[in-house]
């Protein structure tokens, strides 16, 4: 039985159950992080998330909100504890997504923390328009990073240098000079980096980022620095032809973004990313402010400090590394910081 059929079967079972039970009101939701081995990872996500990491090997990613068939996020708080976001979408689509419920069969974003101790592969993601390169049921993958930690050896590669052709890239693959054709910079904490689908990219050298992306897990590796995976004792597979096929050579538009300040008081609220797939704001300060919006869901990510989400008569503690989903039925809430806080707020495509 394939993954899609399993999902359809589970969806039908949940729907049958939901028809025979009253729909419980939703509330601010937390999800259990899903940790992923990556040969380029480190162990710093344990400190960021205040958690004990599994095993003793490199953990490169923590998936903190995932509606993937193979990695479904589970709710960790309240009456719905143990349910997945996929089940919730079947049971309460309007409560969860509001006026966006008719648009999405699954939650459209995948949210992660990345600890890139070493360099990721030089890679590219297809766009929604690359239908011949996408597995059935998959979307393209535009993504963006907010840099949380970086050092003097950290690097981000984003886009090809002007004038680079497919022939240049193929030649560089034969002589190990791919990096010479990539735009590169040394990131610092707070940087926002936008990586539209079709953009060649990589990052690493002791850098930790928060990532927001389309709900897709399609990556084509172009170059992997000639290394061997210590776990498999083999080089990782490359997908050179498919990577080249989805590179937008005419427009490598990714890279650093200039934040747009929307309000300065009572806290600073700036927009970092605004594209057809997601919007993301950063809110910094220590005075109370409002999060969420009527009729649509929002996601909160605390990257520094702490506070409480206030909803009705209840409060929900928010600490560094916490990710909270505010369902559409929850609407706007108060956020009361415990001192200075740095919070990201994410909106789905409208």
Give me the half-sphere count of Cα atoms (radius 13 Å) on the Cβ side of residue 224.
Answer: 18
**73-103: string of b/e by CB count within 10 Å (b at 16+)?**
bbbeeeebeebbbbbbbbbbbebbbbebeee
Residue 91, token pair as written in the block: 């049971």
Nearest CA-CA partner of 211 in 274, 137, 148: 148
Which residues are CB-neighbours of 55 under 8 A, at least 6 positions away?
37
Where does residue 266 fall: left (phi above 0), alpha (psi -120 to 50 degrees), or beta otherwise? Answer: alpha
pTM here?
0.92
Helix residue spans in 20-70 (DSSP H): 45-49
Predicted pLDDT of residue 181: 96
Nearest to 146 by CA among 192, 203, 112: 192
- Rounded CA gap, 299 and 65, in Å? 9
Q: How many CB atoms lie within 10 A of CB 131?
A: 10
Q: How many Cβ atoms are within 10 Å of 261's Cβ, its own excluded?
A: 10
First-to-last C-alpha distance (Å) of the chain: 34
Number of CB atoms found within 10 A of residue 123's CB: 20
Spatial separation of the C-alpha atoms in residues 291 and 343, rounded to whole Å: 10
Two tokens at 246?
């989805």
Token couple for 180 = 């010479």
What domains sit in the chain, N to C, each tagged with a CATH number? 3-16+25-256 (2.60.120.10), 260-347 (2.60.120.10)
Q: Residues with Cβ < 8 Å from 236, sequence gap 6 or more?
A: 39, 121, 221, 224, 227, 229
Distance between CA 324 and CA 337 in Å, rounded?
15
C-alpha separations of 183 from 3, 209, 313, 335 in Å = 38, 19, 51, 39
* Cβ neighbours of 170 (radius 10 Å): 12
Question: For residue 8, what pLDDT is reported?
Answer: 52
Query: For residues 63 and 69, is the Cβ–Cβ distance under 8 A?
Result: no
Residue ranges in the chain modelled with pLDDT below 50? 1-3, 5-6, 9-21
299: phi then psi, degrees, rounded to nearest 5: -120, 135
- The strand pairing partners of 302, in sequence order, are 343
Q: 266, 284 in Cβ contact below 8 A?
A: no
């Amino acid at each position: 039985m394939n993954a899609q059929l399993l999902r359809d079967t589970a969806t039908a079972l949940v729907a049958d159950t939901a028809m025979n039970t009253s729909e419980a009101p939703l509330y601010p939701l937390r999800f259990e992080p899903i940790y992923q081995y990556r040969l380029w990872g480190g162990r710093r996500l344990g400190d960021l998330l205040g958690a004990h990491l599994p095993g003793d090997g490199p953990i490169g990613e923590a998936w903190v909100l995932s509606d993937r068939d193979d990695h479904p996020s589970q709710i960790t708080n309240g009456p719905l504890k143990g349910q997945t976001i996929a089940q919730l979408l079947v049971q309460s689509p309007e409560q969860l997504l509001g006026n966006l419920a008719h648009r999405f069969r699954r939650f459209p974003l995948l949210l992660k923390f990345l600890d890139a101790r070493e360099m990721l592969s030089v890679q590219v993601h297809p766009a929604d328009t690359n239908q011949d390169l996408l597995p059935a049921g998959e979307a393209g993958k535009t993504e963006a990073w907010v840099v949380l930690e970086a050092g003097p050896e950290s690097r981000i590669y984003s886009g090809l240098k002007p004038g680079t052709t497919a022939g240049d890239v193929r030649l560089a693959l034969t002589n190990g000079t791919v990096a010479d054709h990539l735009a590169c910079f040394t990131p610092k904490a707070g940087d926002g980096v936008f990586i539209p689908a079709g953009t060649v990219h990589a990052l690493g050298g002791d850098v930790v980022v928060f990532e927001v992306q389309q709900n897709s897990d399609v990556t084509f590796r172009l170059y992997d620095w000639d290394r061997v995976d210590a776990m498999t004792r083999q080089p990782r597979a490359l997908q050179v032809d498919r990577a080249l096929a989805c590179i937008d050579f005419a427009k490598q538009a990714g890279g650093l973004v200039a934040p747009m300040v929307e309000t300065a008081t009572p806290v600073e609220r700036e927009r970092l990313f605004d594209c057809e797939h997601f919007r993301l704001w950063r809110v910094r300060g220590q005075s109370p402010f409002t999060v969420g919006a009527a009729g649509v869901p929002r996601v909160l990510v605390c990257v520094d400090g702490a506070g409480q989400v206030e909803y009705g008569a209840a409060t929900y503690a928010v600490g560094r590394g916490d990710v909270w989903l505010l369902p559409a039925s929850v609407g706007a809430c108060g956020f009361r910081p415990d001192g200075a806080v740095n919070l990201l707020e994410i909106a789905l495509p409208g």
